[in-house]
Amino acid sequence: MSIKLQQEHNSSPGHIQLSDKGGERVFLAETFYISNKKNTVFQVRLTDKGLCLRKESGSGVKEQTILLVDIIGCRCLRSKRRGHGGSACACSALPGPAQLKVVEANSGEQDESDASAYLYIYAYILKRSRQAQKWRTAIKALINDEIPKTPTYTPTDARKLLVLLNPKSGSGKAREVFQQRVAPIFVEAELPFELHVTKRANYAREFVRTRDIFSYRGIVVVGGDGIYFEVINGMLERTDWERALDEVNVGVIPCGSGNGLARSIAHIYGEPYEPKPVLGATLTVIRGRSTTMDLVRVETKSQIMYSFLSIGWGLISDIDIESERLRAIGGQRFTLWSVHRLISLRTYQGRVSYLPATQMVVTNGGEKQFDGSFGRVSGSMMRHSLSYNTALDCPDCHGDGDCETCDTGFGDVLSLETSTGVDSFRPRLDSWYSATSRKSAYYSTAESIYRSVHEKSSQGGSGGDNETESHQMFGPASKIPALTTPVPDTWTTIEGDFVMVHAAYQTHLSTDCHFATSAKLNDGIIWLCIIRGGVSRSQLLTFLLGLSSGTHIPTPQNEFIKMIPVQAFRIEPTSGGPPGCVTVDGERVEYGPIQGEIFRDVANVMVPAQS
Ligand SMILES: Nc1ncnc2c1ncn2[C@@H]1O[C@H](COP(=O)(O)OP(=O)(O)OP(=O)(O)O)[C@@H](O)[C@H]1O
């Protein structure tokens, strides 16, 4: 909703005063008129709770409070000078200003003969002139948890938000979604941002690895889990990975086909997700709150990477990857392919080993919780790490993209540079530096050497210089044996036929897949679901049908379907079996042995305010 209030012309400039009235702290109280209805008077109070509007008209008195938690921004507008040409540009995306013919105060376009000033307040309720400038100041301060003192508002963090948008995510509408449903709200909230549209797979990863990411207030991906994975792994390829994970919050605006992380965050915070996941996530980004998140260090035969969502072998991974061909139909592709795979069921031979999460404690509320001491990072970097990739930015322009080397005519950048909004929401030329031919090696604590080669993504893009590049992965030191050495006796090992093994550390693998119902963002637990060969089709059907509601695990668990809380695990498919998929965060990795261990609280993810 947007509310427009018009200030009485002759009222005197007041001062922001603090008073207590009926148990609430009143910062401002004044009389406003609603435009076109001069016989309607609004007595408005700005309190520590929100904006209380007392409407007095011929038909009586009505009172309404708009809570501060629902307000994302406000701006002062003036009547627009008559006869001024030009299009509404980005203003047209805002609900209201275009048809009301108002412009930013001090824009130079205002009608000086009309002394009226308008205060627009932008509020989103999901669940449930000078004077105007003064009100704006006080509201902006309060929504940033500050006490309003002075009549000017200076944002505490003037840095821009880095937005990395994948135009190929989901059904390919991320660009439109951002322009129509995200950018206008960022403008309303006066959140400065810089948008970069990815050109190919691994673009976001390189961007994060090579740029000065500390010059941004945070990073938001507009896409799915795949591009979030790129950002996290790009951070872990930096020599300053610890600082990057610690200082740079990463958020997600869901436009992918799975959107497991976005769905999990909404679930954990009790936020509505459908029917407007983009709006909820946008408001989360604007609020700027974050919490810590666990990451899982993943080792395959040739790569080390970090995962935030899941690792899978068999059924669910097969469905995820093989249904790619139905990408155009969006999230429904998973349901359709599940039916197909149930009919043509496969089993895989191999060995699964895990270190159980034994440190379960019973809390006061009787709930079982993991005490999480395992995997807490002690601030150590992988030993013996070497990097050939220390130049983070172009030496000529330091990453600004302004120099000749960097100016490749990359036009897919939009930047909202100033807090005054709509006019500065404009296309801008930019580019970024990508170092080539860098070589590096991965080292585990056991000092075995791993070399990682980023292969060209099957989803292609134009390829480019990243096809054969290798980069060093940093990150917390591993506490489990390398993949090439046997697991300790303290681990549990199962051998035989498996329909699938899927490890998850978020509640949802996708919007409709409530997989690990007890997962938290930062509890140090991997939920390992094992389905053994021999499971009946009806058991499997019940499992698949229960995934959307989180009722897929039988109670009590039976010998074929189990969900086990673990700290680390290893999957070793026996060679020669049927072709299958191994995935990390929904993206396919090489088929073969894979292991994961969880590190608690290592990253920071944007989350809604706790209600
Ligand atoms: N411009 C691009 N062209 C082709 N592929 C891209 C481009 N930008 C990013 N990618 C790749 O697309 C893959 C999928 O992206 P993303 O996760 O955003 O969407 P999704 O797969 O539809 O969603 P989800 O992962 O939630 O199912 C990522 O792994 C990323 O590397």
- Kindly give the distance from the C-alpha atom of residue 174 to the centroid of ligand 1, in angstroms, as a whole number: 11
Residue 166 near ligand 1, beta carbon < 6 Å: yes
Length of the chain: 611
Residue nearest to atom 28 of ligand 1 (CA): 226
- Kindly give the distance from the C-alpha atom of residue 477 to the centroid of ligand 1, in angstroms, as a whole number: 29
- Model confidence pLDDT, tens digit, residues 359-379: 544 444 444 444 444 433 333
Task: Kindly state the helix (H) or strand (E) to which residue 315 belongs, with its residue range.
Answer: helix 315-322
Pairing between β-strand 526-532 and β-strand 290-300 as defined by DSSP bridges:
unpaired
What percentage of residues in the chain have a pLDDT greater than 90?
Answer: 46
- Kindly give the distance from the C-alpha atom of residue 113 to the centroid of ligand 1, in angstroms, as a whole number: 53
Residue 167 near ligand 1, beta carbon < 6 Å: yes
Of all atoms in ligand 1, which is nearest to the CA of residue 167? 1
In angstroms, how far is CA 78 from the centroid of its own chain?
Answer: 36
pLDDT band for position 469 (cuts 50, 70, 90): low
pLDDT at 407 over 60: no
Return phi, psi of residue 146, to 5°. Answer: -115, 155
| 507-524 average pLDDT score | 96
Q: Which residue has the higher pLDDT, 406 or 517?
A: 517
Q: With CA atoms as reference, report the closest residue to 485 among 452, 524, 445, 451.
A: 445
Catalytic residues: 225
pLDDT at 460 over 70: no
Q: HSE-up of 61 (CA within 13 Å, CB side)? A: 5
Residue 169 near ligand 1, beta carbon < 6 Å: yes
pLDDT band for position 12 (cuts 50, 70, 90): very low
pLDDT band for position 20 (cuts 50, 70, 90): low
* Exposed/middle/buried for residue 538 (C-beta within 10 Å: 0-12, 13-18, 19+): exposed
pLDDT at 262: 98
In angstroms, how far is CA 385 from the centroid of its own chain?
Answer: 29
- Model confidence pLDDT, tens digit, residues 46-95: 888 888 888 888 888 888 888 887 888 887 777 776 654 433 333 333 33
Most ligand 1 atoms within 8 A of CB, residue of 166, 253, 317, 508 to mutate: 166
Structure tokens, 465: 């210089």
Tokens 């993943």 sit on residue: 298
Distance CA 276, CA 255 (A): 11
- Kindly give the distance from the C-alpha atom of residue 277 to the centroid of ligand 1, in angstroms, as a whole number: 18
Residue nearest to atom 5 of ligand 1 (CA): 201
Residue 259 near ligand 1, beta carbon < 6 Å: yes
Of all atoms in ligand 1, which is nearest to the CA of residue 259? 26
Q: Which residue has the higher pLDDT, 233 or 6?
A: 233
Of all atoms in ligand 1, which is nearest to the CA of residue 457? 31
Average predicted confidence (pLDDT) for the chain: 77
Residue 589 near ligand 1, beta carbon < 6 Å: no
In order, the DSSP letters of 72-111 are: EEEEEEEEBPTT--S--GGGGGSSSHHHHTEEETTSS-B-
- Kindly give the distance from the C-alpha atom of residue 130 to the centroid of ligand 1, in angstroms, as a whole number: 47
Residue nearest to atom 6 of ligand 1 (CA): 201
In order, the DSSP letters of 512-546 are: TEE--TT--TTSS-EEEEEEETT--HHHHHHHHHH
Q: Which residue has the higher pLDDT, 203 or 434?
A: 203
| 374-399 average pLDDT score | 35
pLDDT band for position 100 (cuts 50, 70, 90): low
Give the end-to-end CA distance of the chain in Å, rounded to a whole number: 21
Rounded to the nearest 10°, the torsion over CA 236, 281, 49, 139 is 80
- Model confidence pLDDT, tens digit, residues 291-333: 999 999 999 999 999 999 999 999 999 988 888 887 677 667 7
Of all atoms in ligand 1, which is nearest to the CA of residue 170? 22
Task: Kindly state the helix (H) or strand (E) to which residue 492 belongs, with its residue range.
Answer: strand 492-504
